[in-house]
Amino acid sequence: MLAASNRRRKESASLPGWIRPQLALLVKRAPEGPEWLHELKYDGYRLHARIDAGDIRLMTRNGLDWTHRYPATAQALSALKLKNAYLDGELCAVREDGVTSFSEMQAATDRGQSAGLVYFAFDLLFLDGASIAERPLVERKARLQRLLEAAPSTIRYSDHVVGDGPRFHDAACGMRAEGIISKRLGAPYAPGDRGLWRKTKCLNREEFIIVGYTDPEGSRPYLGALLLGYYAEDGRLLYAGRAGGGMSRAVLKRVYDTLRPLVVPTMPLAAPPPKTNRFGSPLKLSQVHWVRPELVCEVQFLTWTADGLLRQVIYQGLRSDKPATEVRRPTPAG
């Protein structure tokens, strides 16, 4: 009786202003078994959608209000026939081959052309005056699917399969997706909990702090390469490598203009980067412009070298939705 009473009180709670998102643990191999469901891992911005009697708010994973950045998505969400709701999802640019692209997502954001972006909703935490965050995930997703049956084309339900995670992961990689997210289908929504959700990647994509940049060479304008870093658990800012590829002339100018006000005279790293490595050209420290470690970017890379540096790094875009202080080097579990 007491448990039922507590559940009724939670369900009758008012619509939350913001809910800390549930996070996923990076693993080497997707889990197996019928207690897991598996979704594609989208390559965009994680956004919560708070809908309250036509008032729409889009919030980042840190609670920032980004509704003004994506008015077309907010308008599409306002077309849903409901009193109030709280959704978890990912806003993405979708390429012609059906794969999501963070670089295209950021380009659309920078141009203010967000009408073609797609919001993939994968969880429902509150609906029409009732909290359902503690209900089993598979039940929340079933209600979400029904809710989105008549939604505009830019609001889509994130479907899933149950069981056989490794096979689903192989199929996702064959589609050149970023990876998959595996979730315990009977679990409640657990903000910040790493373990009930697990991510298995196809591509090595991570976020790093920009700690400096080099002068351009040849016909390349604005800057040469970005110097990247991450925080160790003891608080030291460590060097991770360089990113030079993947930046058009327009991107180079945009990144350069953003970095110039952050230039500082002293190196922010705990130790200087190596001047040479066997996978890249020598690093001339005299040509490095150090910056305050505030900007975060996402890169794709081949692997980590034995001496702890990134190899074959391709720039993807800036991540203004994540504070630099949260950037760590991820280590897959299992």
| CB of 22 closer than 8 Å to CB of 197 | yes
The CA-based angle 331-333-334, given to 5 degrees, is 140
pLDDT at 330: 84
Identify the bridge partners of residue 205 per DSSP, sorted by sequence position.
300
| Residue 188 vs residues 66, 84, 180, 225, 258: alpha-carbon distances, Å | 26, 20, 20, 44, 41
Mean pLDDT of the chain: 92
User: Is the model's pLDDT at 325 over the cut of 70?
Assistant: yes
pLDDT at 18: 96
For 61-97, the pLDDT digits (tens) are 999 999 999 999 999 999 998 999 999 999 999 999 8
The percent of residues above 90 in pLDDT, for the chain, comes to: 79
Domains and CATH numbers, the chain: 11-201 (3.30.470.30), 205-326 (2.40.50.140)
User: Is the model's pLDDT at 11 over the cut of 50?
Assistant: no
Name the residues annotated as catalytic: 41
User: Is the model's pLDDT at 21 over the cut of 70?
Assistant: yes
| CB of 332 closer than 8 Å to CB of 27 | yes
Beta strand ranges found along the chain (DSSP E): 25-26, 36-40, 45-52, 55-59, 84-92, 118-127, 130-131, 155-157, 161-162, 179-184, 197-201, 205-214, 226-231, 237-243, 288-290, 296-300, 303-304, 310-311, 314-318
The one-character DSSP state at 154 is T
Q: How many CA atoms lie within 13 A of 66 on its CB side?
A: 22
For 114-146, the pLDDT digits (tens) are 999 999 999 999 999 999 999 999 999 999 999
| CB of 311 closer than 8 Å to CB of 302 | yes
Residue 3 pLDDT level (bands cut at 50, 70, 90): very low
Q: Rounded distance, CA 198 to CA 23, Å? A: 8
For 299-315, the pLDDT digits (tens) are 999 889 888 899 999 99
Find the farthest-apart pair of alpha carbons in the chain and give their distance in angstroms, rounded. Answer: 75
pLDDT at 10: 44
Lowest-confidence region among 3-7, 214-218, 255-259, 260-264: 3-7
Instruction: Tell me the pairing of strands 197-201 and 25-26.
Output: parallel
